[in-house]
């Protein structure tokens, strides 16, 4: 059976889309081919790498990529993870692509001391994990 391609998009492909990519690869790689990208490539956020490692998922070797129109139009699912990516997503010319928006706060914008910032990263990580678990279980 052909794996369905899921393309996660956010602004910089540094936090949220990387977390979603990591969790879907960990939980659904037998069903899905997973890719992620951003409107820009901001590089992998070290805090995102850290909180994913705490959850048992290694994303440290992932790369930060800009949206590839070929992948965008080949995907079965295009899932935006922030409002900015949802609003500025390039036009998808393939009418068969299913586009969804799953909005999550940007943990990179968290303020406070390091402990408070890490709490925000963990909260977003846990929310993304729950949404990925639902997607793997229900296909939506």
β 77-80/32-38 pair status: unpaired
Which of the four pLDDT bands, split at 50, 70 and 90, describes residue 86?
A: confident
Which of the four pLDDT bands, split at 50, 70 and 90, describes residue 140?
A: confident
CA-based angle 83:49:99, to the nearest 5? Answer: 30
Question: pLDDT tens digits for 18-64?
Answer: 999 999 999 999 999 999 999 999 999 999 999 999 999 999 999 99
d(CA 51, CA 18) in angstroms, rounded, equals 11
d(CA 38, CA 89) in angstroms, rounded, equals 9
Which residues is 8 bridged to in the sheet? 36, 79
Please check the confidence at residue 91 and state whether its pLDDT lies above 90. no
Owning domain of residue 127:
4-138
Percent residues over pLDDT 70 in the chain:
99
Total tally of structural domains belonging to the chain: 1
Please check the confidence at residue 1 and state whether its pLDDT lies above 80. no
Catalytic residue among 81, 82, 85, 132: 82
Q: What is the mean pLDDT of residues 75-93?
A: 90
| Domain at 16, CATH number | 3.40.50.2300
Catalytic residue among 10, 15, 44, 67: 10
Active site residue 15: no
- What pLDDT does 6 receive? 98
For residues 48 and 14, is the Cβ–Cβ distance under 8 A? yes
For residues 6 and 33, is the Cβ–Cβ distance under 8 A? yes
Catalytic residue among 5, 41, 71, 89: 89
pTM for this entry: 0.95
């Amino acid at each position: 059976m052909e794996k369905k391609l899921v393309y996660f998009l956010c602004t910089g492909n540094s936090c949220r889309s990387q977390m979603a990519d990591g969790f879907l690869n960990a939980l659904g790689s037998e069903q899905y081919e997973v890719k992620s990208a951003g409107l820009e490539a901001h590089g992998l956020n070290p805090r995102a790498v850290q909180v994913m490692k705490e959850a048992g998922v290694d994303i440290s070797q992932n790369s930060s990529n800009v949206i590839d129109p070929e992948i965008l139009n080949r995907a079965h699912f295009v899932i935006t993870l922030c409002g900015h990516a949802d609003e500025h997503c390039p036009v998808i010319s393939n009418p068969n692509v299913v586009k969804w928006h799953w909005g999550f706060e940007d943990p990179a914008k968290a303020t406070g001391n390091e402990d408070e910032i890490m709490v925000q990263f963990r909260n977003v990580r846990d929310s993304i994990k729950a949404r990925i678990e639902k997607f793997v279980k229900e296909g939506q």
